[in-house]
Structure 1
Amino acid sequence: MTHKLGWGLVGASTIAREWMIGAMRAQPGNEVVAVLSSDAQRGAAYAAEHGIAKSCTSIAGLLADPAVDAVYISTTNELHAAQAIAAAAAGKHVLCEKPLAMNLADAHAIVEACNRAGVVLATNHHLRSAASHQAIRQLVQGGAIGRPLFARVFHAVRLPAHLQGWRVHKPEAGGGVVLDITVHDADTLRFILDAEPVEAVAMTQADGPVEDGVMAVLRFDNGVLAQLHDAFNVAHAGTGIEIHGSAGSIIGRDVMTQHPVGEVRLRNADGERVIPLQPHNLYAHSLAAFNRAVQGLGAPSASGKDGVRSLAAALAVLEAARTGQRTPVRAD
């Protein structure tokens, strides 16, 4: 039988419009049944545009709808914790945008609330669902480059005007490049290396009230040193990831993106070759894993624990930049 899952959108967001609604509807038996916006007119227009039956102006109203089985939270970052905890208390499964919360106490509270309620919790770290990153992980874990030694992530982009808003103007809402992009880098490296970051050093720059550029180094518990360059204000750098080991290197170009694009190359003593990829929609891939988890058939692509640990790395980067000191990554 087809598994039924009714989604409530907590936030009439751009990411839901551009990616998540389609990814949800691509899953057999899934439908988007309600959307929450604090602006009634905007919510109604959003619902009409996307064929969503119901719009709500309160989280309580959305959660009271028996047609809502799961929520996707894509509001500003400071709202995630209260909304996720309320959803868990109402017995709804939770898919929350990154960062899971603004601080570790709130992130842990979300995990604990979902555990108590027996609902699935996932963090929307979409990059680990990319065919490129899954191939890189397989190469690294399979020993293709020997012992991993170093990594480099370059994720400096020009943030489109329609996505700026609170991300560049509202520190109180969790704006800034570190909680928006560096947290993704940390999660991607955790996934590829199967290792945890243990300390950070960093410097940031800012043209406004939040940091819009950062260079950081994370040390992982397997000894890997990872260099990160993230920005909102760089138009032509391209993105990529490199993993360098004792017997070879993996070079991924244009892969730190929502789109299923880019190329992965393996270099070793035998020369250089392009790794075949089978690209797929990152969000649909994550939603498929979420559906399986709801059915008790595995774990989501990125769990609540993943959300906590990747947030801890991003917070350590922020603290290291603030103090100028090497900063331990503490996820407890």
Structure 2
Amino acid sequence: MIRVGVVGASGWADASHLPALTALPEYELTAVATTRRASADRTAAKYGARHAFTDAGALAAHPEVDLVVVSVRVPEHAAVIRAALAAGKDVLSEWPLGVDEAEAHSLAEAATAAGVRHAVVLQGLHSPSVRHVADLVASGRIGALRSAVLVASGDPFGGPGIPADLAWTLDPAAGASILTIMAGHFLPTLERVAGRLTEVNAWLPRLHERVRIDGTDRYEPNPTPDQVLVHGRLEGGATASVTVHGGHGRAADGFLLKLSGTGGTLTAVPADGLPYPHWGEWDIRIDGEPLAVPDSYRTVPADVPAGPPANIAALYRDLAAAPDFAAGLRNHRLLAAVERSAATGRAQLVA
């Protein structure tokens, strides 16, 4: 039994990690932490955790916590991760690992030196749909891959307005944007099915100089990109084209993935109304013919709620094979290459 403490046990964690953990018999949620005592106590009572904290260090040091889950705002990741490492605890961090490549590099080095298990939440890599498509492509079902196209929604980032609880992301130093959050999940999901990007040529347009904070008449300067446009080359020589378009609210049409090979074309769109490729089930077709995901790809109990909790639960079930901090650092390097290309107008190799 792995005893888990979740730091930032509200918001996203309440919608994903906590329902997933409480449905998995090999895990026990023993502790939660939020910034307010009332919310910490309320969350602990809701999910049956024995301990509630307002201090991440105290949670990490508690003897009934084996694994620390970091689900706080990106600028706070480093401090919580370092507290877990100092306590000698395994740590699972939400993506992004850090606010930038340099911080991610420092955290990866620290985790390696601590000798604990460390992983990053890129839940699309554990999706049954994603794994099935990856196997279809690898087995040659569409022949040799020649091009990969992904068009996806970056909502709620990149539109003329932004939810009040995300206003903090307008600061580029916060490390949370349509590039780091949305493309930061979409690109590794694409790489899981099509192979790694080895070269990128990118554009990060900023279409809104100022954005309105939802529910107010206040406008704030917007120094972050509104869209992510990437053309690149994949290992094996195929091309890739990725568009992450911004918006205001949840997009109705979700995403489209198109993989063209010498022997056929595979397409995928949302099957369950969830807008992002790393969240839910895919409607998968080869040359127009639908393909069901075999039950063998489904590794979590049937009572795990559909949507984000299901892929998060699959990650926990496969924690030993989850991307570690080194893999998280590589994803940061990919995004840094996208930024350099957009800034210089030149193609960049991806380390």
Matched, 1:288 2:288: no
Is 1:223 equivalent to 2:223 in the alignment? no
Counterpart position of 2:211: none
- Letter of the structure 1 residue corresponding to residue 266 of structure 2: I
Correspondence for 1:54 among 51, 66, 71: 51
Residue 71 of structure 1 pairs with residue 68 of structure 2: yes
CA distance in 1, matches of 2:224, 2:349: 23
Distance in structure 1 (CA, Å) of the matches to 2:151 and 2:164: 20
Q: Provide the C-alpha distance between the structure 1 equivalents of 2:80 and 2:23, rounded to a whole number of angstroms.
A: 25
Residues 156 and 81 (structure 1 numbering): CA distance in 2 closer, same or farther, change over 3 Å? Answer: same
Shift of residue 21, structure 1, vs aligned partner: 0.7
The answer to whether 1:111 aligns with 2:100 is no
**1: distance between equivalents of 2:234 and 2:279?**
28
Match of 2:339 in 1: 318
Q: Partner amino acid for 1:174? A: G
Greater CA drift, 90-99 or 227-236 = 227-236
* Separation of aligned partners in 2, 1:326 and 1:198: 7
Does the 8 Å CA contact 2:204/2:226 hold for their aligned counterparts?
Answer: no
After TM superposition, the structure 1 = structure 2 runs for residues 92-107 of structure 1, keeping only pairs within 5 Å, are 92-107=89-104
What secondary structure, in the 3-state scheme, does the structure 1 residue paired with 2:205 have? strand
Given the superposition, is the C-alpha separation of residues 229 and 196 from structure 1 closer, same or farther in structure 2, using an over 3 Å criterion? closer
- SS for the counterpart of 1:159 is strand
Gaps of 5+ in 1: 294-298
Deviates more, 1:205-214 or 1:139-148: 205-214
The 5 A counterparts of 1:23-34 are 23-34=20-31
Deviation for aligned residue 1:282? 1.0
1:41 positional shift = 3.7
Partner residue of 2:306?
A: none
Please report the TM-score for the alignment, with normalisation by the length of structure 1: 0.86
- Corresponding position of 2:219: none
CA distance in 2, matches of 1:173, 1:12: 20
Q: Indicate yes or no: 2:43 matched with 1:42.
A: no
Distance 1:197 1:24 in 2: 36
Instruction: Report the counterpart of residue 172 of structure 1 in structure 2.
Output: 173
Q: Give aligned-pair identity as a percent.
A: 26
Q: Which secondary structure state, in structure 1, belongs to the residue aligned with residue 285 of structure 2?
A: strand
What is the CA–CA distance in structure 1 between the aligned matches of 2:39 and 2:98, rounded to whole Å? 25
**What SS is found at the alignment partner of 1:252?**
strand
Matched, 1:143 2:144: no
Partner of 2:349: 328
CA distance in 2, matches of 1:187, 1:25: 27
SS at match of 1:186: helix
Distance 2:340 2:285 in 1: 35
| Number of the residue aligned with 1:187 | 188
List aligned pairs for 1:205-216, cutoff 5 A.
205-207=206-208, 208-216=222-230
- Residue 168 of structure 1, CA deviation: 4.2
- Structure 2: where are the runs of 5+ without partners? 209-221, 301-309
Q: How many residues align?
A: 315
Q: Which amino acid aligns with 2:123?
A: H
1:81 aligns with 2:81: no
The answer as to whether partners of 1:7 and 1:30 remain within 8 angstroms in 2 is: yes
CA separation in 2, counterparts of 1:258 and 1:227? 18
Any idea what the Cα deviations from partners look like across 1:222-258, whole Å, max 9, x if unmatched?
A: 2222111113416333213221122221101117345
Query: CA distance change for structure 1 residues 13 and 216 in 2, over 3 Å: closer, same or farther?
Result: farther
Rate the CA distance shift 1:42–1:173 in 2: closer, same or farther, 3 A: farther
- Assess if the C-alpha contact under 8 Å between 2:154 and 2:178 holds in 1: no
Q: Which amino acid letter does the alignment assign opposite residue 27 of structure 1?
A: L
TM-score scaled by length of structure 2? 0.81
Asked if the contact 2:124–2:279 (Cα under 8 Å) also holds between the matched residues in 1, the reply is no
Moved more, 161-170 or 238-247: 161-170
